[in-house]
């Protein structure tokens, strides 16, 4: 009888903490590290990337304006996240639920807010693959162009920023469609998973790229305005 009770309890208990309840997560293993440990390592790594970038830029271009320096630091950081962190997902999406390395555990923690990352969802796989393959390397290119004041900086900055914003909008839209239209929820019910992980962490890639896109548009408009005035003056002569 006791064995039957235990078997019934095990059958009733969820095999993993992800939503919607009962969704299949292949090979799931609970994380070894707690959240503060993982976040400390992740943000510590971000700090190292920022500081290293700062030192390199100051050596290459000591008088680069502060706003430009911040833009370089952003593109290097976002390039690292796209290429290595999101690239890790694109390469390991199929069995990632059982991985216990740092990136695997970070993705499993993030998936509390969006279980599509552990269920081999076609959209997030394609979106993250494009992000890693295109916006990752191009972010490094833009960072270098800002540092050396290359004339192609703003066209490429606008391209990468539009790509990031577009991907984020589709990411939000597909999840919200499933939530409101199909009544399928991918986030756990705790508010901090939805608002902290799902909303805030992704909204950063709308706010900052949005500002950079605006910057590129205004600078491009100024360049065309100056070119137009120069052409007019040549015609008058």
Domain extent, residue 143, equals 14-22+35-220
Gap between the Cα atoms of 104 and 126, Å rounded: 18
| pLDDT attached to residue 229 | 80
Residue 103 near residue 111 (C-beta atoms within 8 A): no
Residue 27 near residue 94 (C-beta atoms within 8 A): no
pLDDT digits over 63-112, tens only? 999 999 999 999 999 999 999 999 999 999 999 999 999 999 999 999 99
User: How far, in Å, are 15, 74, 76 from residue 82 at the CA level?
Assistant: 30, 12, 10
pLDDT confidence band for 7 (50 / 70 / 90): very low
| pLDDT attached to residue 224 | 87
Residue 49 near residue 76 (C-beta atoms within 8 A): yes
| pLDDT attached to residue 15 | 87
| pLDDT attached to residue 9 | 42
Q: Is residue 115 part of a domain?
A: yes
Q: Is residue 171 part of a domain?
A: yes
The whole-number average pLDDT for the span 204-219 is 97
Q: Is residue 198 part of a domain?
A: yes
pLDDT digits over 170-192, tens only? 999 999 999 999 999 999 999 99
Helix (H) or strand (E) holding 68, with range, is helix 66-80
pLDDT over 90 at 59, yes or no: yes
| pLDDT attached to residue 225 | 86
pLDDT digits over 11-57, tens only? 444 689 999 998 999 999 999 999 999 999 999 999 999 999 999 99
pTM score, whole prediction: 0.89
The widest CA-to-CA distance across the chain, in whole angstroms, is 102
Q: Is residue 231 part of a domain?
A: no
Half-sphere exposure at residue 24, Cβ-oriented, CA atoms within 13 angstroms: 5
Q: Is residue 225 part of a domain?
A: no
| pLDDT attached to residue 237 | 66
The whole-number average pLDDT for the span 198-203 is 97
pLDDT confidence band for 6 (50 / 70 / 90): very low
pLDDT digits over 122-170, tens only? 999 999 999 999 999 999 999 999 999 999 999 999 999 999 999 999 9
Please choose, from the candidates 65, 88, 84, 87, the residue with its C-alpha nearest in 3D space to the C-alpha of residue 76.
Answer: 84
Helix (H) or strand (E) holding 62, with range, is none
Q: Is residue 119 part of a domain?
A: yes
Average pLDDT in the chain: 92
Q: Is residue 86 part of a domain?
A: yes
Q: Is residue 1 part of a domain?
A: no
Q: How many domains does the chain have?
A: 1
| pLDDT attached to residue 11 | 42
| pLDDT attached to residue 14 | 60
């Amino acid at each position: 009888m006791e064995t039957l009770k235990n078997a019934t309890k095990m059958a009733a208990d969820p095999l993993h903490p992800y939503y919607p309840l009962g969704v299949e997560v292949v090979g799931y293993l609970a994380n070894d590290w707690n959240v503060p440990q993982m976040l400390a390592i992740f943000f510590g790594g971000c700090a190292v990337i920022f500081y290293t970038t700062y030192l390199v830029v100051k050596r290459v271009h000591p008088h680069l304006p502060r706003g430009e320096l911040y833009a370089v630091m952003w593109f290097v950081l976002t390039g690292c996240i796209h290429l290595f962190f999101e690239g890790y997902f694109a390469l390991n999406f199929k069995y990632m639920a059982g991985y216990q390395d740092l990136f695997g555990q970070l993705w499993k923690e993030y998936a509390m807010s969006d279980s599509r990352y552990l269920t081999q969802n076609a959209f997030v796989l394609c979106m993250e693959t494009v992000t890693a393959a295109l916006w990752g390397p191009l972010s490094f290119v833009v960072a270098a162009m800002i540092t050396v004041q290359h004339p192609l900086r703003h066209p490429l900055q606008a391209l990468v920023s539009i790509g990031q914003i577009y991907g984020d909008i589709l990411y939000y839209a597909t999840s919200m469609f499933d939530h409101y239209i199909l009544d399928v929820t991918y986030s756990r019910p705790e508010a901090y998973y939805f608002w902290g992980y799902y909303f805030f962490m992704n909204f950063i890639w709308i706010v900052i790229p949005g500002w950079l896109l605006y910057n590129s548009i205004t600078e491009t408009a100024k360049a065309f305005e100056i070119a137009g005035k120069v052409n007019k003056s040549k015609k008058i002569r």
